[in-house]
Amino acid sequence: MESKLLNILPMNSEINSDGHLIVGGCDLVELSEKHGTPLYVYDESTIRSMAELFTKEFTERYSNSRILYASKAYMNPSIAKLSIEHGLGIDIVSGGELAVAASVDFPADDIFFHGNNKSHSEVYEAIDYGVGQFVADSFYEIDMINELASNSNKVQKIMLRLSPGIDGHTHKKTTTGILDTKFGFSIETGDARKAIEYVLTCENLDLTGIHFHLGSPIFEMEPYDLAIRGVIEFLNPLIKNGFNMRDFSPGGGFAVGYTYEKSPPEIGEYAETIVKALTESCEEFDIPSPRLLVEPGRSIVARAGIAIYKVGAIKEIPGLRKYISVDGGMGDNIRPALYDSQYEVIVANKLNEKHTEEVRVVGKYCETGDILASSADLPVCDSGDLIVLPASGAYGMSMSSNYNLNPRPAVVMVSDGKSKVIRRRETYTDLMRCDEFE
């Protein structure tokens, strides 16, 4: 198989003699016959490898590092269990993500609760479960966490999310470290300093550290370097004044390969930049080295997952273009419609055939913008062929909806030639389970 394709498919993918794509030892044509389409397939060994790679690249350079899986990328009990097995902590942003973590007895100490507007009940549930840390985003939240911790007679560990005023140069809808963002306490406006000083006066809060997240996906090293150095410089007087910073997190946002044209940096390159910036600036200001928390989401699961769709209607507009309609679309992957995200497209049952046509791959939802790939070079497709979008493991299913009342796809995990359903396909009954019929 061509290396450009191998780089965006789950690790160890193959093509068999019939031209079928094999992932985790399973033939995708057989999987789609068995489980139906649209279908999300996760390769277990790719998730395990990415978890190990992150741990290795960071701890080899900075032993006091901890990797937290940002579960918003895709959360499911099986994925949460893999995180536990690989010693990853977890970043959650809702009571729902907490409930899934709790369903597999995720160690409470390893849970970090982020988000810019946690509700009273979410904070209550998290304190009750004993989550290790909250990452507070506003004065409103600081007061709420302090009050609920006090009601439970607890001293709750928290970190504060800062907005360092650094542009990660990613899509405007996923940039989060600049001044004009809903996330975090701005250094520039003085809120960050005020928030740190304020938390230090709260009796039921233990301020362990500082967090920021620049956005996602970030292909450049410079934003991490600038943000870490800038934040440590800002923190220096506060630390000298008694703030005991034990944790430091530059967030996640590490890029993955979606297309042949744009390859992501190696994880080691991110680790090198982050560790160097942190170590050098702590040395420069003579600050004790904190624990380094890193929060990859996309980069743990994106490559592991693929989406399989079946081709239905085909429409040709002579002299203009050919539309290939598939049985999923923006309901299971909103990223192209929301962020203009690009994906490669392959035909899982025709991998040995020449690419002779340029087509537009569209979904089945009643929206003109329901386009999965606006221009894809494919072999001649027929109804019934299987279209695969590689690198679909992050922010596809996790952002999915029931728009047009389509049931969400099934999700299967593959490993060593075996497949296991980790989320069954939704049914019409599922679609109506919250509706009242009186």
Contacts to ligand PLP from residues 115-134, by CB under 6 A: none
For the chain, what's the residue count?
Answer: 438
Binding flag, residue 214, ligand PLP (CB under 6 A): no
The one among 66, 213, 360, 423 contacting ligand PLP by CB under 6 A:
213
Binding flag, residue 295, ligand PLP (CB under 6 A): yes
Binding flag, residue 336, ligand PLP (CB under 6 A): no
Binding flag, residue 258, ligand PLP (CB under 6 A): no
The one among 10, 252, 379, 396 contacting ligand PLP by CB under 6 A:
252
Select from 277, 282, 190, 199 the least CA-distant residue to 236: 282
The one among 250, 253, 305, 379 contacting ligand PLP by CB under 6 A:
253
- 26, 202, 282, 366: the catalytic one is 366
Contact 381, 390 (CB under 8 A): no
Nearer to ligand PLP, 29 or 187 (CB): 187
Nearer to ligand PLP, 309 or 395 (CB): 395
Phi/psi at 374 (nearest 5 deg)?
-75, -25
Binding flag, residue 247, ligand PLP (CB under 6 A): no
Select from 209, 210, 141, 215 the least CA-distant residue to 178: 215
Binding flag, residue 185, ligand PLP (CB under 6 A): no
Nearer to ligand PLP, 230 or 252 (CB): 252
Binding flag, residue 91, ligand PLP (CB under 6 A): yes
Binding flag, residue 251, ligand PLP (CB under 6 A): yes
Question: Does 381 participate in catalysis according to the annotation?
Answer: no
Select from 146, 178, 141, 144 the least CA-distant residue to 162: 178
Contacts of 56 (CB under 8 A, 6+ apart): none
The one among 70, 196, 388, 413 contacting ligand PLP by CB under 6 A:
70
What string of H, E and C letters represents the secondary structure of the chain?
Answer: CCHHHHCCCCCCCEECCCCCEEECCEEHHHHHHHHCCCEEEEEHHHHHHHHHHHHHHHHHHCCCEEEEEEHHHCCCHHHHHHHHHCCCEEEECCHHHHHHHHHCCCCHHHEEECCCCCCHHHHHHHHHHCCCEEEECCHHHHHHHHHHHHHCCCCEEEEEEEECCCCCCCCHHHECCCCCCCCCEECCCCHHHHHHHHHCCCCCEEEEEEECCCECCECCCHHHHHHHHHHHHHHHHHHHCCCCCCEEECCCCECCCCCCCCCCCCHHHHHHHHHHHHHHHHHHHCCCCCEEEECCCHHHHCCCEEEEEEEEEEEEECCCEEEEEECCCCCCCCHHHHHCCCCCCEECCCCCCCCCEEEEEECCCCCCCCEEEEEEEECCCCCCCEEEECCCCCCCHHHCCCHHHCCCCEEEEEECCEEEEEECCCCHHHHCCCCCCC
Binding flag, residue 297, ligand PLP (CB under 6 A): yes
Nearer to ligand PLP, 205 or 214 (CB): 214
Binding flag, residue 57, ligand PLP (CB under 6 A): no
- Write down the least CB distance from residue 211 to ligand PLP, Å: 7
The one among 296, 390, 393, 396 contacting ligand PLP by CB under 6 A:
296
Nearer to ligand PLP, 307 or 394 (CB): 394
The one among 35, 86, 298, 364 contacting ligand PLP by CB under 6 A:
298
Stretch of 42-50, 211-219, 330-338, 346-354 lying at the interface with ligand PLP (CB under 6 A): 211-219
Q: Which residue has the tokens 């909806």?
A: 401
- Write down the least CB distance from residue 422 to ligand PLP, Å: 19
Stretch of 74-82, 252-260, 342-350, 371-379 lying at the interface with ligand PLP (CB under 6 A): 252-260
CA-based Rg of the chain, rounded to a whole angstrom? 23
The one among 13, 37, 146, 299 contacting ligand PLP by CB under 6 A:
299
The one among 216, 273, 325, 341 contacting ligand PLP by CB under 6 A:
216
Nearer to ligand PLP, 69 or 365 (CB): 69
Binding flag, residue 114, ligand PLP (CB under 6 A): yes
Binding flag, residue 217, ligand PLP (CB under 6 A): yes
Nearer to ligand PLP, 207 or 378 (CB): 207
Binding flag, residue 141, ligand PLP (CB under 6 A): no
Nearer to ligand PLP, 347 or 394 (CB): 394
Residues near ligand PLP (CB under 6 A) are 70, 72-73, 91, 114, 213, 216-217, 251-254, 295-299
Give catalytic residues, as residue numbers: 366
